[in-house]
Amino acid sequence: MKRKTFLKNVSFTAAGFFISRDMFAHRKDKLYGHNGMLYSMDTQWSRADQQRNPVNDCHEMIQDAKGRIFLLTNETKNNVLVYNTSGKLLNNWGHDFPGAHGLSLADENGEQFLFITDTSKNQVYKTTLDGKILLTIDAPLEAGIYKEKKQFVPTEVTIDDATGDFFIADGYGAQYVLHYDAKGKLKGHFGGRGEGDKYLDNAHGICIDQRDGRKTLLVTDRTRNCFKRFSMSGELLDIISIPGACVCRPVIRNKHLYAAVLRSPVISKEGSGFVTILDQNNKVVSNIGGTEPIYENGKLKTLEQGEKVFVHPHDVCVDRDENIYVAQWASGKVYPYKFIRRK
Query: Is residue 270 pLDDT above 70, yes or no?
Result: yes
DSSP state of 223: G
Separation of alpha carbons 19 and 312, rounded Å: 11
CATH class of 3-341: mainly beta
- Does residue 276 sit in helix, strand or coil? strand
Please determine, for residue 258, whether its predicted confidence score (pLDDT) is greater than 80: yes
Query: Which pLDDT score, from 0 to 100, does residue 276 have?
Result: 98
pLDDT for residue 28: 65
Q: Would you state the pLDDT for residue 58?
A: 98
Q: Is the pTM of this model over 0.85?
A: yes
* Local confidence band at 343 (pLDDT 50, 70, 90 cut-offs): confident
Residue 333 has pLDDT above 70, yes or no: yes
Residue 281: pLDDT over 80: yes
Question: Over 90: is that where the pLDDT of 16 sits?
Answer: no
pLDDT digits (tens, 9 = 90+) for 93-146: 999 999 999 999 999 999 999 999 999 999 999 999 999 999 999 999 999 999
Whole-number percent of the chain with pLDDT over 70: 92
pLDDT tier for residue 165 given thresholds of 50, 70 and 90: very high
Question: Which is nearest to 318 in space by CA: 113, 85, 103, 36?
Answer: 85
Mean pLDDT value of segment 317-343: 97
The pLDDT value given to residue 7: 45
pLDDT at 250: 98
Contacts for 140 with CB less than 8 Å, ≥ 6 apart: 146, 152, 178, 186, 189
- Determine the pLDDT at residue 4: 46
DSSP 3-state of 209: strand
> What does each C-alpha distance from 94 to 55, 69, 77, 139, 223 come to in angstroms?
12, 16, 7, 22, 31
Instruction: Give which of 205, 170, 173, 214 is closest to 189, Cα–Cα.
Output: 170
**pLDDT tens figures, 209-218:** 999 999 999 9
pLDDT at 196 over 60: yes
Whether 67 shows a pLDDT value over 70: the answer reads yes
> pLDDT of 23-47, one tens digit each?
444 466 899 999 999 999 999 999 9
CA gap 69, 328 in Å, rounded: 15
Answer whether 16's CB lies under 8 Å from 24's CB.
no
- 3-state secondary structure (DSSP) of residue 274: strand
pLDDT given at position 29: 83
